[in-house]
């Protein structure tokens, strides 16, 4: 198995070297090793801890207090999370010019914390919140401070309406980054899918825009039979080994 894994790692390194425009698509599996739960894993996924109905736009508008009471532990968890090797290696690959853009389904900001610059957050971000009435935007730190003081829901200081985190809730359109993500995917001659089960639409349509795919995910995905390389292992371990292989090739 070890030789087979290393052969696949080497093939990914070769594909990266041959590619003129590689785009990476990441999902929750990239951040689980930073302590951020995915959504659907039995017993540990976010939807086993929080009622998904709270995370609809209708649910937020109807009861923002319940939204924040249910989501506050998740906000605290994300605030304390640190990047892992998946994030830092991808940032290094971007520095080397081997990765042109990261399209992420995650809202945790860990790619940016890890050093990546060109990050497209198609499901929005938890780094800020906005008033749906007047549009005022504040940092998530301000929201967290209000929650800590028991001000639930946090209110806009300009108009007094509830502040909504700048994440895409069920029932909302994807963020403006999605259009740019489609442009990046169309430009790509290689897309690496890392830590995503590819079950969520329309993000799961992005890999179809490129002929060459690499899949790194613990579980099988719909695109496995179309990919040049598939590795069903920990994302951070694979990225660490990939960096080692790229370093070896340079030497």
Tell me which DSSP letter residue 165 carries: E
pLDDT of residue 1: 57
> pLDDT grade, residue 49 (50/70/90)?
low
We report the CATH number of the domain holding residue 147 as: 3.30.1600.10
Compute the distance between CA of residue 71 and CA of residue 47 in angstroms, rounded to an integer. 11
Q: Are residues 103 and 160 part of one domain? A: no
Compute the distance between CA of residue 234 and CA of residue 243 in angstroms, rounded to an integer. 14
User: 235: closest CA among 194, 191, 192?
Assistant: 194
Q: Are residues 207 and 139 part of one domain? A: no
Q: Are residues 111 and 16 part of one domain? A: yes
pLDDT tens-digit series, residues 134-155: 999 999 889 888 988 989 999 9
pLDDT of residue 44: 46
pLDDT of residue 201: 87
pLDDT tens-digit series, residues 53-72: 777 899 899 999 988 888 77
- Classified as helix, coil or strand, 25 is strand
Output the pTM of the full model: 0.91
Q: Are residues 137 and 115 part of one domain? A: no
Q: Are residues 155 and 135 part of one domain? A: yes
Q: Are residues 96 and 76 part of one domain? A: no
Query: Does position 127 have pLDDT exceeding 70, yes or no?
Result: yes
Q: Which residues contact 103 (CB under 8 A, 6 or more apart)?
A: 23, 24, 25, 26, 120, 122, 177, 181, 184, 185, 203, 206
pLDDT tens-digit series, residues 156-183: 999 999 999 999 998 999 999 999 999 9
Q: Are residues 190 and 132 part of one domain? A: no
Q: Are residues 216 and 139 part of one domain? A: no
Q: Are residues 219 and 130 part of one domain? A: no
* pLDDT average, residue stretch 23-44: 79
We report the CATH number of the domain holding residue 17 as: 3.40.50.1220
Per the structure, the count of domains in the chain is 2
85 vs 48 pLDDT, higher one: 85
- Active-site entry in 87, 111, 123, 133: 123
pLDDT tens-digit series, residues 189-246: 999 999 999 988 899 999 999 999 999 999 999 999 999 999 999 999 999 999 999 9
Query: Does position 47 have pLDDT exceeding 60, yes or no?
Result: no
pLDDT tens-digit series, residues 30-40: 998 998 876 55
Boundaries of domain holding 156 = 38-80+125-167
Q: Are residues 196 and 72 part of one domain? A: no
Q: Are residues 187 and 70 part of one domain? A: no
Q: Check if 123 is active-site.
A: yes
pLDDT of residue 158: 95
Q: Are residues 13 and 49 part of one domain? A: no
pLDDT of residue 74: 73
Of the listed ranges 73-87, 92-106, 201-215, the one predicted with least confidence: 73-87
| Structural domain ending residue among the three candidates 103, 134, 167 | 167
């Amino acid at each position: 198995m070890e030789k087979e894994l290393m052969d696949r790692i080497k093939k990914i390194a070769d594909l990266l070297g041959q590619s003129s425009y590689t785009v990476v698509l990441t999902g929750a599996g990239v951040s689980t090793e930073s302590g951020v739960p995915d959504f659907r894993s039995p017993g540990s996924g976010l939807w086993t801890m929080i009622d998904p109905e709270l995370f609809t736009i209708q649910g937020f508008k109807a009861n923002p207090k319940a939204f924040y009471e249910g989501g506050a532990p998740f906000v605290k968890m994300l605030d304390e999370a640190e990047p892992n090797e998946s994030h830092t290696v991808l940032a290094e690959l971007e520095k080397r010019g081997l990765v042109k853009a990261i399209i992420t389904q995650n809202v945790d900001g860990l790619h940016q914390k890890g050093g990546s610059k060109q990050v497209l957050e198609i499901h929005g971000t938890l780094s800020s919140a906005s008033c749906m009435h007047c549009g005022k935007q504040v940092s998530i730190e301000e929201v967290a401070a209000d929650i800590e003081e028991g001000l639930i829901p946090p209110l806009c200081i300009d108009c007094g309406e509830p502040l909504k985190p700048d994440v895409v809730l069920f029932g909302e359109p994807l963020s403006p980054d999605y259009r740019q993500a489609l442009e990046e995917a169309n430009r790509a001659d290689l897309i690496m899918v890392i830590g995503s089960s590819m079950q969520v639409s329309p993000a799961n349509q992005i890999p179809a825009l490129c002929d060459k795919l690499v899949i790194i995910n613990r579980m099988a995905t719909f695109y496995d039979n179309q990919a040049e390389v598939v590795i069903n292992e920990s994302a951070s371990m694979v990225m660490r080994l990939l960096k080692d292989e790229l370093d070896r090739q340079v030497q």
